[in-house]
Amino acid sequence: MNNKKQIGLAVVGCGTIGRIRAIMARDYPGIGWIGLCDTNESLGNKLLQDCDADYFTKDYNELLKRPEVTAVIIATDENHHFGPTMAAIEANASLFIEKPLATDLLESRKVFDAITDAKIDAVLGYTQRFRRRFLAVKQKLNDNNIGEVTSVVTRAFMNSMVPIATVRRTNERKNLTPMVVSGTHSLDMSLWLLEGKSPKTIFAQSVDKKLQSHGTKDSTFGIFTMDDGTIFSMNISWALPTVWPGSVYGLEIGIVGTEGVIDIEDTHRDLVLASTKPQGHGYNPSGFEPSTARHVDFLTSYPPGDIYNNQLWGPMREETNSWFQRLYVGTDTPHASAKDGHKNLVMTMAMDASSKIGEKIEITDDIEQEILKIQDL
């Protein structure tokens, strides 16, 4: 039973997403203390002032040893989740970890096992689960409105400002692929909608003609066969030009069942702005500035939501506040679990591994060892 004890929140990583969630924490009445950490002192101190936080340090170990801390948001760059996450587990704090759980398979396994062993309440930041359309679809599937699902197809288009900005922040680019960093969103959504079915085989292919010089691939296409015979195909391209009107992500999903079909268009093309004035870049981390201005914009295509009156409205607000409710009053929420997060990383890496060897891969109990062997080829 939850006794509504005030939350002491630590936010590790004060970039775009850490800032959004910290600002929301400031306004949540169940949070009594906020501490921040970032290696960029000026970035952290700016957020300290903007969200009226209580504490800032450049050392996450120092922050997570504070007695006030009961919950932690891990919002560092993708390659740097492991250290602060393990420290938060040691502190026995509830966890919100931005996806992916890790970009290294062994690290992801260690994190997942540690969370499981410590019985930590940990969730992953798969924000798109909180878009109203996907929640509505999930309920219809739960209510068996289209019978038994037999096939699913997904397509994700992404502006190339995402991979360019992502890989430029690190030299550890081996696993920063379209699937691991961004395709994981559409994979998570599809596996969530297919809850109860498990992948048994995967065959994938990739191409890297445009983004090879940045150390990543352009596109990956794959097809899964599930344990009940359901087929599930997905593809992602994050090599679209930076002038592409979608700020970040556009997704289409088709779900066919024995008694119906659900067709989801989440491409944001129903609300288009064209202007002689340059439009802002939806994905614009500190220090990154695309070389070409965008004059056409698919409004509402920025995944966290949209700004009105200097406040963010949309799925990230609902995701963040529902996590606070989960901690404060015990609300049941649709967040992805640590188990989901680790499985998503394994499946995205299985797609990359299949693409690398050009062969179908069986999803067995030894799949993680098989992926590691292929990665070392």
Per-residue confidence band for 282, with pLDDT thresholds at 50, 70 and 90: low
Question: Residues of the chain with pLDDT > 90: what percent?
Answer: 80
CA 35 to chain centre: 23
Helix, strand, or coil here: 320? Answer: helix
* Burial degree of 372 (CB within 10 A; 0-12, 13-18, 19+): middle
User: Containing domain of residue 107, as a range?
Assistant: 7-120
Same domain, 88 and 171: no
Run of H or E including 232: strand 231-240
Tell me: pLDDT of 314 over 50: yes
| pLDDT of the residue at 286 | 59
| pLDDT of the residue at 210 | 92
Any domain includes 318: no
Same domain, 197 and 292: yes
Q: Measured between alpha carbons, how far is residue 11 from residues 26, 103, 175 in Å?
A: 12, 20, 25
| pLDDT of the residue at 151 | 97
Same domain, 115 and 216: no
Per-residue confidence band for 178, with pLDDT thresholds at 50, 70 and 90: confident
pLDDT tens for each residue of 184-235: 999 999 999 999 999 999 999 999 999 988 888 999 999 999 999 999 999 9
| pLDDT of the residue at 67 | 97
Alpha-carbon dihedral sign for residues 185, 186, 187, 188: positive
Same domain, 145 and 264: yes
Out of 120, 147, 182, pick the residue that ends a domain.
120
Q: For the whole model, what pTM was predicted?
A: 0.94
Any domain includes 217: yes
| Degrees, nearest 5: CA angle 267-301-166 | 110
Closest listed residue to residue 76, CA positions, set 169, 173, 158 = 169
Question: Does residue 283 or residue 122 have the better pLDDT?
Answer: 122
Helix axes 16-26, 315-329, angle to 10 degrees: 50
Q: Where are the alpha helices (DSSP H) in 171-301?
A: 178, 184-193
CB 239 within 8 A of CB 214: no
Same domain, 280 and 162: yes
Out of 120, 155, 187, pick the residue that ends a domain.
120
Token match 């067709």: residue? 263
Parallel, antiparallel or unpaired: strands 122-125 and 94-98: parallel
Tell me: pLDDT of 171 over 90: no
Question: Does residue 59 or residue 166 have the better pLDDT?
Answer: 59
Q: What is the CATH number of the domain that holds 74?
A: 3.40.50.720
Q: What is the CATH number of the domain that holds 266?
A: 3.30.360.10
- Count of domains observed in the chain: 2
Q: Where are the alpha helices (DSSP H) in 161-299?
A: 161-167, 178, 184-193
Q: Measured between alpha carbons, how far is residue 106 from residues 93, 115, 345 in Å?
A: 22, 14, 11
Same domain, 155 and 79: no
Low-confidence winner among 19-23, 101-105, 178-182, 232-236 (lowest mean pLDDT) = 178-182
Tell me: pLDDT of 271 over 70: yes
Closest listed residue to residue 10, CA positions, set 92, 77, 82, 79 = 92
CB 16 within 8 A of CB 285: yes
Same domain, 105 and 156: no
Any domain includes 169: yes
CA 364 to chain centre: 25
Same domain, 152 and 277: yes
| pLDDT of the residue at 166 | 78
Out of 274, 304, 334, pick the residue that ends a domain.
304
254: its two tokens = 């088709």
Proportion of the chain in helix, strand, coil states, percent, rounded to 5: 35, 30, 35
Tell me: pLDDT of 2 over 70: no
Per-residue confidence band for 164, with pLDDT thresholds at 50, 70 and 90: confident
Same domain, 216 and 270: yes
Any domain includes 50: yes
pLDDT tens for each residue of 286-307: 566 777 888 999 998 888 999 8
Per-residue confidence band for 242, with pLDDT thresholds at 50, 70 and 90: confident
Question: Residues of the chain with pLDDT > 70: what percent?
Answer: 96
Tell me: pLDDT of 139 over 80: yes
Tell me: pLDDT of 81 over 60: yes
Any domain includes 164: yes
Same domain, 297 and 167: yes
| pLDDT of the residue at 1 | 41
| pLDDT of the residue at 234 | 94
Per-residue confidence band for 161, with pLDDT thresholds at 50, 70 and 90: confident
Same domain, 93 and 145: no
Same domain, 233 and 203: yes
Question: Does residue 135 or residue 160 have the better pLDDT?
Answer: 135
> What's the whole-number average pLDDT of the chain?
93
Residues β-bridged to residue 73: 11, 96
pLDDT tens for each residue of 18-59: 999 999 999 999 999 999 999 999 999 999 999 999 999 999
